[in-house]
Copies of this chain bind each other. A is one copy, B any other.
Amino acid sequence: MEYVKELLKDTPLKATPQRLAILKEIYEAGHIDLESIYKNLSNSFPSMSLATVYKNIHTLKKYGVIKELAISGSKSKYEIAKQKPHHHLICKVCGSVIDIEIDTSFLKKQLKDLKDFEVTNCDIYCYGICSRCKNKTSG
């Protein structure tokens, strides 16, 4: 619980048990959608209301504690924001998300000189099939 509490230290947000439980869920899952957070917590935290999850996702995103991954064709997933810069592999079959480090110096080079747009950050989503699903299909 201490790790997730740390995540709030630069924000005005209070460390309520509900909020910490939500953060812990995201932290442990790596990437998780809102409804799954709620369902998973319903066991360990029966009083948790869905509205609280919504409100927290909104607030945590607003303060940059978590980051939303908007995934084409399925629900958004959330991850802890403060991590080493990385991008994402997304399995088209099972929907799982895997972090990947990509050297983006080439990209920055290409974007630096745009004259009608000033880029601050890029998200790279790589779609394909994970080894687990691939083995199921071909095996």
Contact = CB atoms under 8 A, between A and B. Distances in A.
Nearest to A116: B131
A55 to B, nearest CB: 16
A50 interface: no
A73 B110 CA distance: 25
A117 B130 CA distance: 4
A29 interface: no
Contacts of A125: 122-125
Given A111-B126, A124-B123, A127-B122, A89 B117 contact: yes
Nearest to A92: B120
Interface string A90-106: 01100000101011001
Interface of A: 61, 67-73, 76, 89, 91-92, 98, 100, 102-103, 106-107, 110-111, 114-131, 134
Given A92-B120, A100-B117, A102-B110, 19 more contacts: A68-B73, A69-B72, A70-B70, A70-B72, A70-B73, A72-B76, A89-B117, A100-B114, A103-B110, A107-B107, A107-B124, A117-B126, A117-B129, A117-B131, A120-B129, A122-B124, A123-B125, A124-B124, A124-B125
